[in-house]
Amino acid sequence: MKIQNFINGQFYDPISNEWIDNYCPASGEVYGKIPNASKADVENAYIAAQSAFPSWSQTTLEERSRILIKISELLEANLQQFAEAESKDNGKPISLAKSVDIPRASSNFRFFGNAITQFASESHDSIGQQAINYTLRRPIGVVGCISPWNLPLYLFTWKIAPALAAGNCVVAKPSEVTPMTACLLGNICNEAGLPAGVLNIVHGLGSTTGQAIIEHPDIKAISFTGGTKTGAHIAKIAAPMFKKLSLELGGKNPNLIFADCDYKDMLKTTVRSSFANQGQICLCGSRIFVESSIYDTFKADFIAQVKQLKVGHPSETSTDIGALVSEPHLDKVLQYINTAKQEHGKILCGGHRTIVKGYENGYYLEPTVIEVDTNDCTINQEEIFGPVVSIMPFNTEDEVLQMANMVKYGLSASIWTNDLKRTIRLSNQLQTGIVWVNTWMMRDLRTPFGGIKASGIGREGGFEALRFFTEPKNVCIKY
């Protein structure tokens, strides 16, 4: 299966004729090739986007909205094909791709197709000065969207949809590890009547294709989700060109579990927040802190539940945990398990690469729970991004708050308690962009999404995203 760049509404081989192997994580086999698009391909994508911009930015909101909602409907209509492609490319269970990834990609287009029709700017009556100010929200022009491999189409469209809704033209790059659904999206955009050049999709390595996008002097904004190191690199390149930046980076999210919580609910959700998508979600709660009085009970119950999770081939509907995304990533996660052992972490369950019969070369790992006795250890401080969580007890609210905040990341946190005052105290003081109380990853697309500290800058979602993808211009009229 050969994937091509999607430029100006058509599919092209890369100019350099350089290709990268595309692996199926479930079997470890190469099943396709993707372009390693060079500067020249990115330039072509930019030219197409720039040429489409005058017309797209002047397209009525009703028409833009109609096209985006049509894309959303076509994604829904092709759910099975997209879910199968996502699962094969990424290793995630088909059930997850079908119930979460593709429906959410569809929602992203529908949501921003609707949101743009409600997006309003401000006006200020300058009383006493006989003047009125109003603020226009204009699209930026050509923008770059770069996304990762963990939630491929979900995060790709989370950027593209608001960028297009706001009237920008886009040069986008999905992760080279999971290019498949982004490639299929090109056809859907044509079918929905998105004019040629409005969305251009280039494929390739971060160091080649991604680098060409971030270095392009006329791509004026970059929305990026990925590793913290890559985010820092992008910021360094973009800053001297004064590009607008939205960076959604890693997380090392704490779960704060108090004895007064709804225990059953908490237990079930904590298994999910630990291992959903093989633990490869920036929001996963990878540091679990449990109040001492229920620690032993929690430990026994949690391990019993984790042991029941079925590691299997992603296409089987009974599979809970599929394959990790790539062999280098699996090796990285295994390395962290080794480090934990060296630092006296106690492996309570899992810890090994495992084999799924018939797919001996697939990248499977047992869900792993490690008991630690300090928050200072490596696995509590660095993002592992796999099916590995740590657990440890705490005695007081102050102690757990301090541990939760003692980390370089600041994306999300979950608090489990029925004490309202404690909820408010902790929510105020947790150093994260998102706090969930008695739940996890419950999303309303209108809310601001993103983190602080090393988890990035800027917020996605709702009007925050539309603000990011527009430039405010204030007009002051004296009358």
| Residue numbers annotated as active site | 248, 282
Question: Which residue has 């593709």 as its token pair?
Answer: 102
Question: Smallest distance from the beta carbon of 235 to ligand TXE, in angstroms?
Answer: 11
* Residue 233 makes contact with ligand TXE by CB under 6 A: yes
Q: Out of 145, 249, 323, 340, which residue is the one contacting ligand TXE (CB under 6 A)?
A: 249
Pick 78 or 339: Cβ nearer ligand TXE: 339
Question: Which residue has 């197709």 as its token pair?
Answer: 113
Question: Smallest distance from the beta carbon of 312 to ligand TXE, in angstroms?
Answer: 23
Region near ligand TXE per CB under 6 A, out of 172-180, 194-202, 267-275, 430-438: 172-180
Query: How buried is 292 (Cβ within 10 angstroms: 0-12 exposed, 13-18 middle, 19+ buried)?
Result: exposed
Task: Mark out the alpha helices in 37-179 (DSSP H runs).
Answer: 39-57, 61-77, 79-90, 94-96, 102-118, 152-165
**Spatial distance between the Cα atoms of 424 and 431, rounded to a whole number of angstroms:** 13
Residues binding ligand TXE: what is the number (CB under 6 A)?
A: 25
Pick 90 or 470: Cβ nearer ligand TXE: 90
Dihedral sign, Cα of residue 92, residue 93, residue 96, residue 97: positive
Q: Are 158 and 33 in contact (CB under 8 A)?
A: no
Question: Smallest distance from the beta carbon of 338 to ligand TXE, in angstroms?
Answer: 16
399: three-class secondary structure by DSSP: helix
Pick 172 or 290: Cβ nearer ligand TXE: 172
**Spatial distance between the Cα atoms of 390 and 368, rounded to a whole number of angstroms:** 9
Q: Are 129 and 156 in contact (CB under 8 A)?
A: no
* Residue 273 makes contact with ligand TXE by CB under 6 A: no
* Residue 464 makes contact with ligand TXE by CB under 6 A: no
Binding mask 60-99 for ligand TXE (x = CB under 6 A): ----------------------------------------
Q: Give, as ranges, the residues between 379 and 418 that touch ligand TXE (CB under 6 A).
A: 383, 385
Pick 195 or 227: Cβ nearer ligand TXE: 227
Query: How buried is 122 (Cβ within 10 angstroms: 0-12 exposed, 13-18 middle, 19+ buried)?
Result: exposed
Pick 282 or 400: Cβ nearer ligand TXE: 282
**Spatial distance between the Cα atoms of 383 and 44, rounded to a whole number of angstroms:** 36
Number of other residues whose CB lies within 10 A of the CB of residue 157: 30
Number of other residues whose CB lies within 10 A of the CB of residue 224: 28
Pick 248 or 464: Cβ nearer ligand TXE: 248
Q: Are 71 and 188 in contact (CB under 8 A)?
A: yes
* Residue 39 makes contact with ligand TXE by CB under 6 A: no
Question: Smallest distance from the beta carbon of 284 to ligand TXE, in angstroms?
Answer: 10
**Spatial distance between the Cα atoms of 154 and 149, rounded to a whole number of angstroms:** 10
Q: Out of 108, 157, 175, 412, which residue is the one contacting ligand TXE (CB under 6 A)?
A: 175
* Residue 461 makes contact with ligand TXE by CB under 6 A: no
* Residue 41 makes contact with ligand TXE by CB under 6 A: no
**Spatial distance between the Cα atoms of 418 and 166, rounded to a whole number of angstroms:** 41
| Close Cβ partners of 143 (under 8 Å, ≥ 6 residues apart) | 163, 168, 169, 170, 171, 219, 220, 221, 222, 223, 469
Pick 210 or 314: Cβ nearer ligand TXE: 210
* Residue 433 makes contact with ligand TXE by CB under 6 A: no
Question: Smallest distance from the beta carbon of 418 to ligand TXE, in angstroms?
Answer: 31
* Residue 313 makes contact with ligand TXE by CB under 6 A: no
Pick 74 or 155: Cβ nearer ligand TXE: 155
Pick 67 or 163: Cβ nearer ligand TXE: 163
- 99 secondary structure, DSSP code: I
Question: Smallest distance from the beta carbon of 251 to ligand TXE, in angstroms?
Answer: 7
Amino acid at 82: F
Q: Which residue is nearest to ligand TXE (CB)?
A: 206
Q: Are 431 and 453 in contact (CB under 8 A)?
A: yes
Q: Which two tokens stand for residue 378?
A: 């490596």
**Spatial distance between the Cα atoms of 300 and 295, rounded to a whole number of angstroms:** 9
Q: Out of 214, 261, 370, 407, which residue is the one contacting ligand TXE (CB under 6 A)?
A: 214
Q: Give, as ranges, the residues between 133 and 162 that touch ligand TXE (CB under 6 A).
A: 146-150
* Residue 230 makes contact with ligand TXE by CB under 6 A: yes
Question: Smallest distance from the beta carbon of 382 to ligand TXE, in angstroms?
Answer: 8
Q: Are 23 and 180 in contact (CB under 8 A)?
A: no
Q: Give, as ranges, the residues between 328 and 357 that touch ligand TXE (CB under 6 A).
A: none
* Residue 181 makes contact with ligand TXE by CB under 6 A: no
- 447 secondary structure, DSSP code: S
Question: Smallest distance from the beta carbon of 226 to ligand TXE, in angstroms?
Answer: 3
Q: Out of 57, 211, 405, 423, which residue is the one contacting ligand TXE (CB under 6 A)?
A: 211
Binding site for ligand TXE (CB under 6 A): 146-150, 173, 175-176, 206-207, 210-211, 214, 225-227, 230, 233-234, 248-250, 282, 383, 385
